[in-house]
C-alpha cells in the first residue's frame, strides 16, 4: 500500500506539531509530522506528504528518509495536489489518502483509493496500533457527590 498525506492537516492532529504550528514554526512542526509518519509507516510502500506553501528558509529537501515531500505553490494548495494526484493516477486503489478534509476524502473514495482520517493516523504508534489515551473520559456516574459536598460544604448530601 502507498500513502499520500495532507501534511499540515495531520500536523494539527499531533499535539506537539500543532503547538509549533500555532507559534508559526513550521520547520519544527514538519519535523514532528515527518517523524510520526516515518515511525508509523516505515517500509510500507511509497509515502508522499504534501504541505501548503513553499518550503521555508530551513526547508526540508524533497525527501525525509523514504518519504517524498511536496510543497504547493500558489494558487495551488496541498488539497489540490492530493486530489489531482488521485484523479490522474492509473491505479488509485493502490493508495491510501490521509486527511480530515471531507472533499479530499470523498474524491479519493470516489476514485477507488482507500481513506483514513488524520485523527486516526495521529492516534497510531510505531506498531500501527492505536495509542492509549492519557486521560480517561469523564463519567458522571462515578462521581461521589457526598464526598465532594463534604469537601466543599462541610455537609453530607443526605
pLDDT digit string, tens, across residues 99-144: 999 999 999 999 999 999 999 999 987 545 454 333 334 445 555 6
Q: In this structure, is residue 77 part of a structural domain?
A: yes
Q: In this structure, is residue 138 part of a structural domain?
A: no
Q: Are the CB atoms for 47 and 66 separated by under 8 Å?
A: yes
Domain range enclosing 62: 2-131
pTM attached to this predicted model: 0.76
How far the first Cα of the chain sits from its last, in Å, is 61
Q: In this structure, is residue 48 part of a structural domain?
A: yes
Q: Are the CB atoms for 70 and 39 separated by under 8 Å?
A: no
- Asked whether the CA dihedral 107, 109, 115, 118 is positive or negative, the reply is positive
* Angle, helix 26-41 to helix 15-23, in steps of 10 degrees: 160
Quote the cell numbers at residue 63: 525527501
Q: How many domains does the chain divide into?
A: 1
Amino acid at each position: 500500500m502507498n500513502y499520500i498525506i495532507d501534511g499540515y492537516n495531520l500536523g494539527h492532529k499531533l499535539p506537539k506539531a500543532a503547538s509549533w504550528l500555532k507559534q508559526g514554526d513550521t520547520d519544527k512542526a514538519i519535523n514532528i509530522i515527518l517523524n510520526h509518519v516515518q515511525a508509523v509507516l516505515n517500509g510500507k510502500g511509497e509515502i508522499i506528504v504534501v504541505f501548503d506553501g513553499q518550503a521555508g528558509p530551513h526547508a526540508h529537501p524533497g525527501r525525509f528518509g523514504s518519504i517524498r515531500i511536496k510543497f504547493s505553490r500558489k494558487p495551488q494548495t496541498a488539497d489540490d495536489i492530493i486530489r489531482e494526484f488521485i484523479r490522474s493516477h492509473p491505479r488509485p486503489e493502490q493508495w491510501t489518502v490521509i486527511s480530515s478534509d471531507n472533499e479530499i476524502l470523498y474524491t479519493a473514495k470516489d476514485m477507488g483509493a482507500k481513506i483514513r482520517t488524520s485523527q486516526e493516523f495521529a492516534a497510531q504508534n510505531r506498531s500501527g496500533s492505536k495509542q492509549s489515551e492519557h486521560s480517561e473520559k469523564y463519567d458522571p456516574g462515578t462521581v461521589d457527590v457526598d464526598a465532594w459536598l463534604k469537601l466543599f460544604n462541610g455537609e453530607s448530601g443526605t
